[in-house]
Amino acid sequence: MTSTVAIIILLGVLIFVHEVGHFLAAKYFRVGILKFSLGFGRKLIGKKIGETEYVISLIPLGGYVKLLGESEEEHLTEEEKGHSFAAQPVWKRAVIVFTGPFFNFLLAILIFTFAYIWGVPVLTSEIGMVASGSPAQEAGISVGDVIVKIDGEGVTRWDQVAKKIVESKGKPVKISIRRDGETKDLTVFPKIVKDHNIFGEEVETYKIGVGPAKKLLKERLNPFSALIKATEQTWFITKMTMISIVKILEGVLSPRSLGGPILIAQMAGEQAKSGLLAFLLFMAVLSINLGVLNLLPVPVLDGGHLLFYLIEAIRRKDLSPKWKQRAQQIGFVLLVILMIFVMIMDIERLNNETINKATKFFTR
């Protein structure tokens, strides 16, 4: 699958699912839906069913839902006003707006659930490296040993091993290893070391000086366990995305780490070449990012509309159209600036990559 096809499928699915959320919520509250479009731009084909026109448009990158009374410039009859979006109580409007991002989170949960049922490759608990003079070496741990228990609790994956060591807080850890078919119980004393977290910040953590053997096993879960773990994974990535945004605002993370459509297309193409599962997992992560970004309190985004509704609920009256229009104009300008910035970063990465490839070619 080429990067172009991958990005069309990826963004098409993510934005389409987002709009389906708005569509179903509006249908549930009996709000008039004038149009549901799969894609943007010029209409290719369409069919009107009831009051709603369902169309397929030229640019297959998502879609949109046009609600009755969504624009304050519409002239509606008295009958139409009762089914218009603007006539709904503030909580109903908030639900309709929120359901779009919610469906992005729901899509991620469904993809992760499928992945865990199908089987996800994970690192085993076999040891592939023991640092010289480390607590592990002093305890008698060797390369090729397989950790089967830590403090009496069974482990099979490397992430379980790492988590248990960090949670020890430096207290002695009883580790059961399997070596040449025999099980041995050893006591290891984790030591505190300085390391860097995923945001590049220096932190203190606990380690015993071992590394994984790079051997993989396919972990499969039953549907119920898969759903629970998928929900936990979605929440974890949601939390990390929100923290990343805060870290960028604090200056801990460089804004240059942001990626635009070119980077997304490259990554989508790479994941698609790695297989269906890798592509779907990438789609799940991006769906979460889309959900979080849409909930930011920026006018023109869903989060901006929700902020307006919150203010309206507190004041018990709507904001003036003039004030909302100005806020949305500012929000739109900010988004355009952000889009231009990430596009520049993408092009810069692309140019650097091209230069590196050319340099390797001419100096090999």
Catalytic residue among 19, 126, 153, 182: 19
Instruction: Answer yes or no: are the C-beta atoms of 174 and 152 closer than 8 Å.
Output: yes
β-sheet bridge partners, residue 251 = none
Instruction: Supply the DSSP symbol for 157.
Output: B
Q: Is 316 exposed, middle or buried (0-12, 13-18, 19+ CB in 10 A)?
A: exposed
Query: What spatial distance separates the first Cα and last Cα of the chain, rounded to whole Å?
Result: 30
- State phi, psi for 125 to the nearest 5 degrees: -90, 15
All residues at 6 or more sequence positions from 116 whose CB lies less than 8 Å from its CB, including other chains: 219, 220, 221, 225, 226, 229, 230
218 alpha-carbon distance from chain centroid = 23
45, 59, 299, 322 from 302: Cα distances, Å: 28, 22, 8, 19
Angle separating helix axes 276-294 and 90-118, nearest 10 degrees: 160
| Residue 53: active-site member | no
Residues involved in catalysis: 19
